[in-house]
Amino acid sequence: MTATPVTARDRAHTTGPALPRSRGELSRTVRQALTRPAGTPLARRVTAEQADPYGDDLQLALYLCYELHYRGFAGVDAGWEWDPGLLRLRAEMERRFLSALRTESGPPRSAEDALADLLVEPVVAEGASQFLKEQGELWQFQEYAAQRSLYHLKEADPHVWVIPRLTGRAKAAMVAVEYDEFGAGRPERIHARLFADLMTDLGLDPAYGRYVDFAGAELLTSVNLMSLFGLHRALRGALVGHFAAVETTSSPGSRRLAQGLRRVGAGPAAVHFYEEHVEADAVHEQVVRRDVVAGLLETEPFLDEDIAFGVAATEWTENRLGTHLLTAWGEGRTSLRMPL
């Protein structure tokens, strides 16, 4: 029996988002490659050795590479996902990014200490969620949602990659939490769907990847972090740390955002997304700490510092994004690369 050959038409994504605009030599090289058949040599020799690890160019180039493992892009050959030449460039960018993250995360510490720090809310809550709760205007909520859509429309997806790498109690608990994230069997309750409903309520386009060109490097860094951790088995401890940090800090921030949205008169779907996370993530936090983190450390205690690194890297990238938002809004200007 003769196998049916795979044609370029069969391998092309036709329903994904459009390729975003490039922002420098690295992202231009990757973008140009994706417009050609997989296997075509990269158009130019580029290196990430001197690139800003948190800059627009490197972060967008990484984002383009990572999205090939999610939904791809319209018209892009699916064969690029595992193209050796592109993977070599991606690996170089990842080394640059990961090295910088380890420096920013400070000296090694235990997972217990890293997670304990997250449980202490400051007397006066800080960050973008507090600003939006107290004085945010509708346009600022729209900017916030447009950027965070790159994260929330695939919120739980990269965490699924760690499931085959876990065993026993950690695996069972991780699946239980992810089951909730994916709607507990009800497609209309998938958290990414709830965020799409929030976007519609705020007058935004809920299409996946719609606002990549609007989002700055600060947001791309936050999104790329979970893809980096999720795609590498060697970073499974860091991904569990990321997951724990997100679930631990989500409930208080979600409560503030729900209050702010109610204050500006947003619709019920917008308020509901964050109200859902107030209760759900308070429960998830306990499960993640007690069973996912503790269960992983029972079987692989040597991952203790990796979990703490994942917590610290998540905290650092989110704080950097918050600082960017507050600085822009404090100066009365858009936090986006271009106005909505």
* Structure tokens, 20: 């975003």
Return the CATH number of 109-330, one of 3.40.50.970, 3.40.718.10, 1.10.10.10, 1.20.910.10: 1.20.910.10
Let me know: does 145 contact 264? Beta carbons within 8 Å: no
Phi, psi of 298 (to 5 degrees): -65, -40
* Structure tokens, 161: 């990659």
Q: CA 120 to CA 106: how far, in whole Å?
A: 19
Tens digit of each residue's pLDDT, the chain (340 residues): 443 444 545 555 567 899 999 999 999 999 999 999 999 999 878 899 899 999 999 999 999 999 999 999 999 999 999 999 999 999 999 999 999 999 999 999 999 999 998 876 553 446 899 999 999 999 999 999 999 999 999 989 999 999 999 999 999 999 999 999 999 999 999 999 999 999 999 999 999 999 999 999 999 999 999 999 999 999 999 999 999 999 888 888 999 999 999 999 999 999 999 998 887 767 788 899 999 999 999 999 999 999 999 999 999 999 999 999 999 999 999 999 999 9
Q: Write down the pLDDT at residue 77.
A: 96
Sign of CA dihedral 185, 187, 189, 191: positive
Within the chain, which residue ranges are assigned CATH 1.20.910.10? 109-330
The separation between CA 12 and the C-alpha centre of its own chain, rounded to angstroms, equals 25
Let me know: does 194 contact 201? Beta carbons within 8 Å: no
